[in-house]
Amino acid sequence: MTERSEPTVTDKEREKEGDRVNEKEPIEQIQQIVDMGSTTVKNSRGAVHCLTIVGQVEGHQSLAQGVKATRYEHVLPLLAAIEESEEVEGLLLLLNTMGGDIEAGLAIAEMIAGMQTPTVSIVLGGGHSIGIPLAVCTKKSFIVPSASMTVHPVRTGGTTIIAPQTFRYFERLQERIVRFVSKNANITAERFRELMLSAKDMAADVGSVLYGEEAVEEGLVDEIGSLSDALDALYEMIALDRKREEERRRDWQ
């Protein structure tokens, strides 16, 4: 009959260290939400990183204090880390943005569009201006019935040099947005330009305001849906990816 050995000091230290690590996980997760507006959730259906794009997308210049903003220099490396991570299986993009810097917004949208990781977006509240490319850049997009999307031409604030070259710059910048949206959504470039230049919806400006079902009818967003619908779609993509990976492993054996 073998005697049962008492746990060594080293074993006890390891157990305590393990408990400390487990205690840290919720704290670190909360801190990540505070700092980045993002969190990773794991369950039997998959590991999903949830990223929020809120307020204005901040570009090369910092916005005024007190203005809600999403900083692109935080988001870009985060997206690269998600794409290369062996633990994260999907990205859920939560959108409630009033637009912001065009090039910064396009940079984020282009990165997401180029990801192999399953991606789903859902527009909550609003997806205005540069928020539209961010809404359509994922593999599937949703919008809640009460959310709105505002389509309008490229605009700028502050001092502007009035010259033909300035007009040409704005025109080319606008075409970059039109091309991206028409490529990643079910809307033609011609129809998107019509919505940009419409004079029916906005009293002091040109453009169009589309609410939930209208955005789907125009082809900007794939489906009307809630958070659970967006998650179900993402988990379906993850399940398909897992199945493909299993098939590859079988072929290699």
- Reported as type and span, the H/E element at residue 224 is strand 223-224
Phi/psi of residue 65, nearest 5 degrees = -65, 135
Q: Give the per-residue SS3 of 142-162.
A: EECCCCEEEECCCCCCCCCCC
Active site residue 129: yes
- Among 38, 49, 141, 152, the active-site one is 152
With contact defined as beta carbons under 8 Å apart, do 139 and 119 qualify?
yes
CA 154 – CA 199 distance, rounded (Å): 15
Residue in 49, 121, 128, 129 annotated catalytic? 129
Written as six digits, the tokens of 22 are: 């487990």
Q: Which residues, 6+ apart, have CB-to-CB distance to 103 below 8 Å?
A: 59
User: Does residue 49 carry a catalytic annotation?
Assistant: no
235 Cβ neighbours under 8 A, 6+ residues apart: 45, 46, 48, 90
Contact 133, 112 (CB under 8 A): no
**Annotated catalytic sites, by residue?**
129, 152
